[in-house]
Amino acid sequence: MTLEEKLGQLQLLDNPAAAADRAAALDLVRRGLVGGILNAHGAQQVNELQRLAMQESRLKIPLLFGYDVVHGYRTIFPVPLGEASSWDPSLAEETARIAATEARAAGVNWTFAPMVDIARDARWGRIVEGAGEDPFLGAEMARARVRGFQGRALAAPDAVAACVKHFAAYGAAEAGRDYNTTDLSEWTLREVYLPPFKAAIDAGVETVMSAFNDLNGVPASANPFLLTDILRGEWKFAGFVVSDYTAVPELIAHGLAADEADAAAQALNAGLDMEMVSRLFNLHGARLVRQGKVPLARIDEAVRRILRLKFRLGLFDRPYVDETREARLMLAPAHLDAARRAAARSLVLLKNQGDLLPLRKDLRAIAVIGPLADSQRDVLGPWHAAGRAEEAVTLLQGIRAKVGAKTEVLYAKGCEIEGGTTDGIAEAVRVAKAADVAIVAVGESAEMSGEAASRTSLALPGHQLALVKAIQATGKPTVVVLMNGRPLAIEWVAENVPAILETWFAGIQAGYAIADVLFGDVNPGGKLPVTFPRTVGQAPLYYNHKNTGRPPQPNNKYTSKYIDAPWTPLFPFGHGLSYTQFRFSNLQLSRTRLSTNERLVVTVDVENTGQRAGDEVVQLYIRDVAASATRPVRELKGFARITLAAGERRTVRFELGPEHLGAHDRHMRFVVEPGEFRLYVGNSSAGGLEARFDVFD
């Protein structure tokens, strides 16, 4: 390979069809100066571009085709934050496998997922793309999604290479503002933000995407501590690292690089292997090598990593896609069934006063109200790949399909999601008064979450709260259905509306799945993967906080709290109700003293004391009472979603070892320190059964 051809393999180019100069972009492919294409999908389009590389370039090296298949390709599943609410990694693996199957049939062989950034600040729009605020839950979901995307063999027709992103600490952006700087201790980096990435690496993820943000003054895309010391040195990662969209020239705006050549040199020398969209490696790489500013060995290693993935994907043997397979697999009945089941398992029942839910199917009239009640576009969420709004099922459609012919389903939009006037509220009130129950769908538009969608308010946008208040004032039983990509501050709703169902953006089968839960065909079992604040002023708010030297006390001003609002959450991490009741009992530890390298078995009995079958998520938390570096008040270390018939009791078993009890000390060594530990088992991060044990050297 010539040096220019080597540098070509380091280039991920945007889809030539969208380029300002399409001919010039295609010429780069002909000359072998492109390693992969971004945002080209569909078997026919992919094959056309691949033929250009295979038939007209000198070396005939196949192209990678990357696309943001974040929560489904054509069959759109719940957004990742919603899917994390299922607390079911096997479900995440299944949906990722279906997404991979559809994507590979459409020519996509590389997905920019999973996004595993821990997010503690609900103002950050990209919280919707991850698994929430907890590193343990995030790690479990990361492993599952990597397994689902990549399967057992990358060359298989139902597998794509995964790309874990964004490395690292992107979710810690100051003020919750996307792309903003991050400044945090190495302890917090290693304890909170890195574990899901390490889990993805251990699961065999093929690629890593560097983050937009800087970290403690060094942008992630040119950060040797992240890209070389940790990723290669500590974790022995053998795949390649791709930048995020134009992140390399952005090193200049960050104030790290003096010019384009300097940006390319710093990114390459730090350990970045492939550049997305921008072409600084292509344009300046040869000169940088000749000047001795970038070693040729650094270029060669990056090329090896990229070519290795192409071989593993089977592209040298089978570069083209079977164009007849694409149509057969899109929206297959089994895929739609999985989407409906995944959506239903992701819903979280936040409140159900007086057992208002589930609803009867033989009601005389049901009012379905709200700007999100009949929105096909919004239920798909912000990253919906090749999903089509016209194929999505809305809440209104789902309810009409669920009830019998004798039940009248009335509809009123009421108001817009944001902006607009209150003129439609009167019609919504009239509709509610004519019905037996009012279901009000409110929240965010899909565009209000995701990339570049940070918010300074967590309140219901526009006139939606006024709409809810007006419907509640009619005296009709009212159910609020939330659709959103982040925790919302809904204190008035929580205090006044009897039933609240959190549905996030539930995907292509959203309406059917929500109706399944509202009418009791599915008993909700989801739990919150993020804390719901009372007000945006509490952000960032998360359950695994430190105790401080002055933990909050009700009657002591000089403790850590607010003077104008409670410091506690509206709904805690792990919260979620069911249409049945569960009782925890008989918490047992295999021992109460163990050495630092021994393992502890924990068992607890869980009984369904209600009248119907249901799911409970059994959650185990620990606290290291005194350590050389202070530890959180609670840390999730185990969970299990179980299904129990009415009256059924089951013993749930957990096993804790050094990997659960250890933490990084002051010298960044991962160690298990002797001392007292407390253990909690329950159905959320608040309360639960308690026990204690001691660890000794």
Beta bridge partners of 91: none
Please name the residue that has the structure tokens 């997010």. 119
Looking up tokens 């709703």 gives 493
One of 88, 134, 244, 378 is an active-site residue; which one? 244
Provide the 8-state DSSP code for 182: B
Beta bridge partners of 600: 656
d(CA 112, CA 207): 9
DSSP classification of residue 532? B
Query: What is the C-alpha to C-alpha distance for residues 330 and 363, in angstroms, rounded to an integer?
Result: 37
- Per the rule left: phi > 0, alpha: psi between -120 and 50, beta: everything else, 656 is beta
Question: Could you tell me the two tokens for 616?
Answer: 């409970």
DSSP one-letter code for 115: B
Q: Which residue has the tokens 């790309």?
A: 163
> What residues have CB less than 8 Å from 307, skipping those under 6 apart?
9, 61
Give the full edge-to-edge strand order of the sheet including 600-608: 582-589, 600-608, 649-656
Rg of the chain on CA atoms, in Å = 26
Q: At how many degrees (to 10) do helices 425-433 and 464-472 cross?
A: 30
Q: Is 390 exposed, middle or buried (0-12, 13-18, 19+ CB in 10 A)?
A: exposed
Does the annotation count 244 as an active-site position? yes
User: How many Cα neighbours within 13 Å face the side chain of 664?
Assistant: 13
Instruction: Give me the residues paired with residue 619 across strands.
Output: 639, 682
Is the CB of residue 110 less than 8 Å from the CB of residue 66?
A: yes
Cα-to-chain-centroid distance, residue 2: 41
User: Does residue 604 contact residue 586 with C-beta atoms inside 8 Å?
Assistant: yes
| Catalytic residue IDs | 244
